[in-house]
Structure 1
Amino acid sequence: MSAEIYPKSTRELADLRRSLAPETEAAFQAFSKAVFSEGALSAKTKQLIAVAVAHVTQCPYCITGHTKAAQRAGASAQELMEAVWVAAEMRAGGAFAHSTLMLNTLDDRKS
């Protein structure tokens, strides 16, 4: 058994995934290309957002891939770390904000 938690993403696995649903794969690749192209947001900014979101969704493949893409787009290590801190704050902020549900439930139990 491998010591890896997640299997390595290999060309063979990518080819298999593509062969099992080629039209969907092509549509996803076109969508991804459109999303990450220059627009109102720079490609670098989009990749920094992707790195932050990848940390919230906890996708190791996305973290690795989008970190490399962000670096290719010109992002520095400091910018990447700030993006991760923004993600961490937003994740914590979501838990804090949702405490309203718990507090309202406590109030409901009193009545």
Structure 2
Amino acid sequence: MTDSVYPKRTPELSRRRRELVPETAAAFEAFSAQVFKAGELDEKTKQLIAVAVAHVTQCPYCIDGHTKLASRKGASDEEIMEAIWVAAEMRAGGAFAHSVVALNALDSIHSHTHA
């Protein structure tokens, strides 16, 4: 990530973040380790989910980190790209699905102006 508005992740920034609120940082790290540990879903699948979610939340740090982790856990480039396409569809699908709110608002306006 060069020429970005986002600061580069550095060991110093990571250390400072942990030092400012160490108990919370430790709890988050433990939570993260638990979440990504193999369970009913294997680690590769969990990382592919994380890649998709990272694209929906649009976190460049998560996209970078979880894409690398997914690859290290055995995900192919094709699997990673498919996960990204799933994220794209879900994000677009959310906008499409919420169109019923707009249509309902229009119906309410039209029903009041025609009554």
- Gaps of at least 5 residues in structure 2 are none
Runs of 4+ in 1 over 6 A off after TM superposition: none
Q: What TM-score does the superposition give when structure 2 sets the normalisation length?
A: 0.93
SS of 2:38 mapped into structure 1? coil
Separation of aligned partners in 2, 1:6 and 1:72: 25
Count of aligned pairs: 110
CA displacement at 1:3 relative to structure 2: 3.2
Question: Percent identity among equivalent residues?
Answer: 68
CA RMSD of aligned residues (A): 1.0
Partner AA of 2:87 in structure 1: A
- Gaps of at least 5 residues in structure 1 are none
Partner AA of 1:68 in structure 2: K
Q: What TM-score does the superposition give when structure 1 sets the normalisation length?
A: 0.96
Q: 2:107 matched to 1:107?
A: yes
1:62-110 per-position Cα deviation (integer Å, ceiling 9, x unaligned): 0010011101110000000000000000000000000000000001102
Match of 2:72 in 1: 72
1:6-61 per-position Cα deviation (integer Å, ceiling 9, x unaligned): 11000000000000000000000000000000011111000000000000100000
Q: Which has the larger radius of gyration?
A: 2
Match of 1:20 in 2: 20
Match of 2:29 in 1: 29
Partner AA of 1:69 in structure 2: L
SS of 2:9 mapped into structure 1? coil
Match of 2:59 in 1: 59
